[in-house]
Amino acid sequence: MAETGNSAKGVTAGKLAISVQKRLSRAQEKVLQKLGKADETRDVIFEEMVANFNKQMGEGTKLQKDLKAYITAVKTLHEASRRLQDCLAEMYEPEWFGKEEMDAMVEDTDTLWLDFHQNITDSSMLSLDSYLTQFPDIKARIAKRDRKMVDFDSARHHFASLQKGKKKDEAKIAKAEEELGRSQKIFEELNVELQDQLPVLWDSRVGIYVTTFQSLAGHQEKFHKEMSKLSQNLNDIMTKLEEQRQLKKDSAAAKAGDEAKSDGANHSHAASSPPTRPSSLPSRPLQHDESLDDSASDINKESITTTQVPSWDLPEQPLEQVEGGWYFNEGNSQSDPQLNCGANHAELYTDPTWSYDVGQGGWAQDEQVQVSESNSSDYKLPPGFLYKVKAIHEYAATDGDELELNIGDIVLVLAFDTPDEQDDGWLMGVQESLWIRNKDISSKGVFPENFTQKL
Indicate the pairing of strand 385-391 with strand 334-335.
unpaired
User: 452: which strand partners?
Assistant: 391
- Quick check: 448 pLDDT over 60? yes
Q: How far apart are CA 109 and CA 227, in angstroms?
A: 7
How many C-beta neighbours within 10 Å does residue 120 have? Answer: 22
Is the pLDDT assigned to residue 115 strictly greater than 90?
yes
Q: What is the pLDDT of residue 65?
A: 94
d(Cα 207, Cα 334) in Å, to the nearest integer?
A: 129
pLDDT class for 194, splitting at 50, 70, 90? very high
Q: What CA–CA distance (Å, rounded) separates 70 from 76?
A: 10
CB neighbour list of residue 63: distance below 8 Å, 6 or more residues apart: 128, 209, 212
Q: Is 225 helix (H, G, I), strand (E, B) or coil?
A: helix
The pLDDT > 90 percentage for the chain reads 31
What does the pLDDT read at residue 64?
93
Confidence at residue 390, expressed as pLDDT on a 0 to 100 scale: 94
Read off the amino acid at residue 423. D
Residue 19 pLDDT: 67
Backbone angles phi, psi at 388, to 5 degrees: -110, 150
This prediction's pTM: 0.47
Q: Of the given ranges (77-91, 239-253, 289-303), which has the lowest mean pLDDT?
A: 289-303
Whether 408 shows a pLDDT value over 50: the answer reads: yes
Query: Which H or E run includes 453?
Result: strand 452-454
Q: Taking the mean position of all CA atoms in its chain, how far away is CA 81?
A: 21
Distance CA 103, CA 89 (A): 6
Q: What does the alpha-carbon distance between residue 361 and residue 274 come to, in Å, rounded to a whole number?
A: 11
The pLDDT assigned to 37 comes to 64
Asked which of 42-46, 83-87, 302-306 is least confident by mean pLDDT, the reply is: 302-306
The confidence band for 3, taking pLDDT boundaries of 50, 70 and 90, is low
